[in-house]
């Protein structure tokens, strides 16, 4: 069901990249000394703009104790940094938990269309709190929803997105399908499917895309972009670019954080957490029907019990089981995997790829099974991609749609045998003489890859990671070479 569309703003990556810069600069490799050398510069950057005045709504924490940060991404800086209305809506609300005693740093995004009670204003989407009362009312709303004590709030103007992405040298991203619009009704975009390098403008169009997607799919796409950026850049790359990032951080950030002692306290927490992975707590909810004609909005809804379960996972940093997004009833995979044989459709894709110029140095593998009811979205995309060393590689992408809004999966081939997306597999498993590289996100299998003498290939899950491990492995195992 298509949600009510507010044609809103930017993506999650700039919020976390810039807004969580305190954490990034603490990641100075094996030594904490370099991080502490940045204290004065970060403190000065935070003081470029007026502070957020949040008073008693923020919780105080003892030195060395865990802290919870709220990061807001909005289409404009609030006119009044305390009670006043912002004149815009918060596109992103992220909660981050710094707790060195845990095995991971927790991150949870709240869907912008989440139905909540806004103190003093009644029922509305959670992002309306920013428009009605700026960061302070958003803080009160999030506290009322979750019951969490929040120690600091950082508000980011999305104008920093271009500069932030370009400052880190752009990002190689796996795009699940073609994103296209050239009408006045929605923002312009023309991003093709497949693994590709994305810089400021294209990356912004990609992460902010909303037409034909639900709020949960959009959030999953943003989180996926963030994960791939983090995987590629690494700690060393971010530290090497810290001069540019600190300048961007100060230019587009407002926060309650003030003073060298408070910055130092946060940096110490971040240094102790530097070796921890970021664990995403995926929000679970249902999307209600809406009607643009009758001016009835669509919401993401979640019961209080569900919210409290997610809060427990956030504080305990436990993996959220199952796919992202709405809960669905899944059949037990004792025998029927929910797959069907479709070698003819797959071979047709392979033939089209050869006709478009693939083959030869890039042998074509194609899927012979697919999830029941899914269909190829059109001919495969055959293209070239420029690698890290400037060399151009052959590539192709086949895309299948599951029949559910926003759920596309596919098969990618590359003559680039060591692309960043295939770095550090979680597990290598040998099946029928072929080595498969398994890349997980929490408990869900995100990619299944294999390599030949000439090329690398992988099967990608949907953004909501709704294909099971057994489905993913079955599609990869039965892939056939033309």
Q: pLDDT, tens digit, for every residue of 14-53?
A: 333 333 443 333 333 333 444 556 677 777 777 777 888 8
Residues 215 and 68 in one domain: yes
Query: pLDDT class for 325, splitting at 50, 70, 90?
Result: low
Tokens of 267: 């940096």
Query: pLDDT class for 3, splitting at 50, 70, 90?
Result: very low
| 242 vs 345, higher pLDDT | 345
Rounded to the nearest 10 degrees, the angle between the axes of helix 304-316 and helix 128-146 is 80
Q: Say what the pTM is.
A: 0.76
Residues 308 and 344 in one domain: no
Quote the mean pLDDT of the chain. Answer: 81
| 198 vs 45, higher pLDDT | 198
Q: Is residue 215 part of a domain?
A: yes
Report how far residue 308's alpha carbon sits from residue 314's, in angstroms, rounded to the nearest whole number. 10
Total domains in the fold of the chain: 2
Residues 3-14, mean pLDDT to the nearest whole number: 32
Q: Is residue 411 part of a domain?
A: yes
Burial class of residue 114 (count of CB atoms within 10 Å of its CB; 0-12, 13-18, 19+): buried
| 259 vs 234, higher pLDDT | 259
Residues 304 and 380 in one domain: no
Q: Is residue 332 predicted with pLDDT exceeding 90?
A: no
Residues 253 and 360 in one domain: no
Query: pLDDT class for 270, splitting at 50, 70, 90?
Result: low
Q: Is residue 330 part of a domain?
A: no
| 432 vs 278, higher pLDDT | 432
**What pLDDT score was predicted for residue 14?**
36
Cα distances (Å, whole numbers) of residue 87 to 11, 128, 187: 19, 10, 20
Q: Among candidates 9, 23, 8, which has minimal Cα distance to 249?
A: 23
**What pLDDT score was predicted for residue 205?**
86
Paired sense of beta strands 152-157 and 67-74, if any: parallel
Q: What is the pLDDT of residues 119-165, one digit of tens each?
A: 999 999 998 999 899 899 999 999 999 999 999 998 877 666 677 78
Report how far residue 226's alpha carbon sits from residue 384's, in angstroms, rounded to the nearest whole number. 24
The residue behind tokens 């029907």 is 289
**What pLDDT score was predicted for residue 327?**
44
Q: Is residue 85 within 8 Å of 56, Cβ to Cβ?
A: no
Name the most confidently modeled range: 190-204, 330-344, 368-382: 368-382
Q: Is residue 135 within 8 Å of 53, Cβ to Cβ?
A: no
Q: Is residue 253 part of a domain?
A: yes
Residues 306 and 398 in one domain: no
- Picking from 29-38, 194-203, 205-214, 296-305, which range would have the lowest pLDDT averaged per residue? 29-38
Residues 261-290, mean pLDDT to the nearest whole number: 73
Q: Is residue 4 predicted with pLDDT exceeding 80?
A: no
Backbone Cα Rg of the chain = 22
Residues 136 and 174 in one domain: yes
Q: Is residue 4 part of a domain?
A: no
Q: Is residue 200 predicted with pLDDT exceeding 90?
A: no
CATH number of domain containing 99:
3.40.630.190
Residues 169-173, mean pLDDT to the nearest whole number: 90
Residues 268 and 347 in one domain: no
Q: Is residue 333 part of a domain?
A: no
Q: Is residue 292 predicted with pLDDT exceeding 50?
A: yes
| 323 vs 180, higher pLDDT | 180
Q: What is the pLDDT of residues 394-449, one digit of tens each?
A: 999 999 999 777 799 999 999 999 999 999 899 999 999 999 999 998 778 999 99
**What pLDDT score was predicted for residue 318?**
60
Residues 355-376, mean pLDDT to the nearest whole number: 96
**What pLDDT score was predicted for residue 19?**
38
* Sign of CA pseudo-dihedral 415, 421, 423, 425: negative
Residues 61 and 25 in one domain: yes
Rounded to the nearest 10 degrees, the angle between the axes of helix 200-208 and helix 12-19 is 120
**What pLDDT score was predicted for residue 8?**
32
Residues 183 and 312 in one domain: yes
Can you give the residue range of the structural domain that contains 250? Answer: 12-316
Residues 205 and 250 in one domain: yes
Residues 349 and 277 in one domain: no
Report how far residue 254's alpha carbon sits from residue 252's, in angstroms, rounded to the nearest whole number. 7
Residues 273 and 366 in one domain: no
**What pLDDT score was predicted for residue 30?**
31
Report how far residue 121's alpha carbon sits from residue 330's, in angstroms, rounded to the nearest whole number. 38
49 contact partners, CB below 8 Å, separation of at least 6: 77, 250, 253, 254
| 73 vs 313, higher pLDDT | 313
**What pLDDT score was predicted for residue 479?**
97
End position of a domain, from candidates 316, 348, 372:
316
Q: Is residue 277 predicted with pLDDT exceeding 50?
A: yes
Residues 180-185, mean pLDDT to the nearest whole number: 85
Cα distances (Å, whole numbers) of residue 421 to 387, 440, 447, 460: 12, 12, 9, 11
Report how far residue 358's alpha carbon sits from residue 363's, in angstroms, rounded to the nearest whole number. 7
Q: Is residue 3 part of a domain?
A: no
Q: Is residue 382 part of a domain?
A: yes
Q: Is residue 42 within 8 Å of 21, Cβ to Cβ?
A: yes
């Amino acid at each position: 069901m298509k949600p009510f569309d507010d044609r809103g703003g930017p993506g999650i990556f700039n919020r976390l990249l810039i807004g969580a810069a305190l954490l990034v600069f603490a990641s100075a490799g094996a030594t904490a000394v370099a991080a502490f050398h940045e204290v004065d510069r970060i403190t000065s950057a935070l003081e470029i703009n007026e502070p957020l005045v949040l008073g008693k709504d923020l919780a105080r924490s003892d030195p060395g104790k865990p802290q919870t940060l709220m990061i807001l991404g909005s289409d404009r800086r609030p006119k009044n940094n305390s009670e006043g209305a912002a004149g815009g809506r918060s596109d992103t609300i992220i909660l981050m938990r710094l707790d060195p005693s845990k095995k991971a740093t927790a991150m949870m995004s709240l869907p912008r269309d989440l139905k909540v009670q806004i103190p003093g204003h009644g029922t509305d989407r959670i992002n309306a709190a920013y428009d009605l009362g700026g960061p302070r009312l958003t803080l009160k709303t999030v506290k009322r929803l979750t019951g969490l004590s929040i120690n600091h709030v950082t508000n980011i103007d999305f104008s920093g997105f271009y500069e932030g992405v370009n400052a880190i040298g752009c990002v190689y991203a796996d795009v699940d399908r073609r994103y296209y619009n050239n009408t006045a009704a929605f923002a312009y975009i023309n991003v093709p499917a497949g693994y590709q390098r994305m810089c400021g403008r294209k990356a912004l169009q990609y992460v902010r895309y909303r037409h034909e997607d639900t709020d949960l799919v959009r959030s999953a796409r943003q989180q996926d972009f963030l994960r791939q950026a983090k995987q590629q850049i690494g700690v060393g790359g971010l530290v090497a670019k810290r001069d540019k990032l600190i300048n961007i951080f100060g230019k587009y950030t407002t926060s309650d954080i003030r003073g060298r002692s408070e910055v130092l306290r946060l940096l110490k927490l971040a240094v102790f957490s530097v070796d921890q992975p970021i664990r995403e707590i995926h929000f679970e909810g249902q999307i209600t029907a809406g009607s643009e004609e009758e001016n009835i909005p669509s919401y993401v809804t979640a019961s209080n019990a569900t919210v409290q379960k997610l809060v427990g996972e956030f504080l305990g940093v436990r993996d959220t089981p199952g796919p992202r997004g709405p809960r669905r009833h899944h059949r037990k995979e004792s025998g029927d995997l929910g797959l069907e044989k479709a070698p003819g459709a797959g071979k047709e894709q392979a033939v089209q790829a050869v006709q478009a110029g693939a083959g030869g140095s890039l042998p074509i593998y194609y899927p012979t099974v697919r999830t029941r009811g899914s269909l190829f979205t059109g001919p495969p995309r055959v293209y070239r991609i420029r690698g890290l060393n400037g060399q151009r590689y052959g590539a192709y992408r086949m895309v299948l749609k599951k029949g559910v809004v926003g759920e596309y999966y596919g098969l990618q081939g590359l003559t680039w045998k060591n692309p960043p997306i295939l770095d550090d597999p979680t597990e290598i498993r040998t099946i029928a003489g072929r080595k498969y590289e398994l890349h997980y996100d929490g408990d869900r299998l995100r990619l299944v890859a294999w390599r030949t003498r000439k090329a690398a290939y992988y099967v990608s899950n949907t953004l909501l990671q709704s294909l099971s491990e057994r489905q993913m492995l079955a599609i990869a195992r039965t892939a056939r070479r033309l």
